[in-house]
Amino acid sequence: PRSSRPTVPTSTTRSGAPSASSPPRTSSARVHLDYIEAGANIIITASYQATIQGFESKGFSKEQGENLLTKSVEIAHEAREMFLKQHPDQSTPLRPILVAASIGSYGAYLADGSEYSGDYGEAGTLEFLKDFHRRRLQVLAEARPDLIAFETIPNKLEAQAYVELLEECNINIPSWFSFNSKDGVNVVSGDSLIECAKIANECAKVGAVGINCTPPRFIHSLILSIRKVTDKPILIYPNSGERYDAERKEWVESTGVSDGDFVSYVSEWCKDGAALIGGCCRTTPNTIRAISRSLNQYYPAP
């Protein structure tokens, strides 16, 4: 996600709760619109857990699954178009509104919490992961997003699979790789974050490297680690700090931080070198609104 001013942080988020603002045609687009109105410059499609294999397991045909993936990008485009009709002066070359197509890890498809462990068992081979992700990547790229977001990458193997697919499928849309960590040192599988970041750094098709769905308290040290191996923009969009219970399939609220506490980290992350800043699981449009205000103070508009 390079721009003419890549050092200026940008608010980014996955979609969350709908707003009561003037609704576009679909409720899903209304969710995206809520984040744009809160100040997000990048909206991420609701395709993180959406896979052709997952749709087929629910009785959809392959074609129907592909159409649903395409629709996720179209809905985000729809939200942006509606916002710009209402606010034509709000997107500029320096601060555009971009659509990033989300690609979650194999563990996100399994929905068993393994995106927070990177333990795929017998499925943990390079060729298996490439075969699993290939067609979804192609379909999302064909839908013409501005960016492709490879999110919550839990291990080095899956990062390598993505790099090879970008080359083999001749994807020319700028991508980012974001990993997740539960100790502030390694990715969740135990693989070295530095080694994972090196894989992303060596791929010319990857425009930014960073961290998502990780507690805010770990971000400082993770940024410093990534900076050791890349000059590419660093993006970070942590979760609220809560813990996901894979057995109960819910977030444990008692470990989270408030929007105010979350945003208190923003200036530190800017000083550390983060170029794009936003929120992941359990953050809301209010979080993004607060981040946007903080960034506008740190980097006044030209």
Contact (Cβ atoms closer than 8 angstroms) between residue 147 and residue 206: no
* CA diameter of the chain: 53
User: 26: buried, middle or exposed (CB in 10 Å: 19+, 13-18, 0-12)?
Assistant: middle
Site of tokens 């003037």: 22
From CA 296, how far away is CA 280, in angstroms rounded?
A: 20
CA distance 210 to 221: 12
**Residue 19 CA, distance from chain mean position:** 21
Q: Which of 25, 38, 132 is nearest to 79 (CA)?
A: 25
Handedness of CA 213, 214, 215, 219 (dihedral sign): negative
Q: Which of 201, 77, 43, 73 is nearest to 137 (CA)?
A: 73
| Residues 74/212/275/71 CA torsion (nearest 10 deg) | 0
CA distance 191 to 10: 28
Q: 40 with 13: CB under 8 angstroms?
A: yes
In angstroms, what CA-CA distances link 10 with 105, 221, 287, 298?
Answer: 24, 20, 13, 12
Q: What are the beta bridge partners of residue 236? A: 211, 277
Does the annotation flag 280 for ligand binding?
yes
Dihedral class, residue 249 (left if φ above 0, else alpha if ψ from -120 to 50, else beta): left
Give me the phi and psi of 256, to 5 degrees please: -85, 175
Residue list, annotated binding site for Zn(2+) = 213, 280-281
Residue list, annotated binding site = 213, 280-281
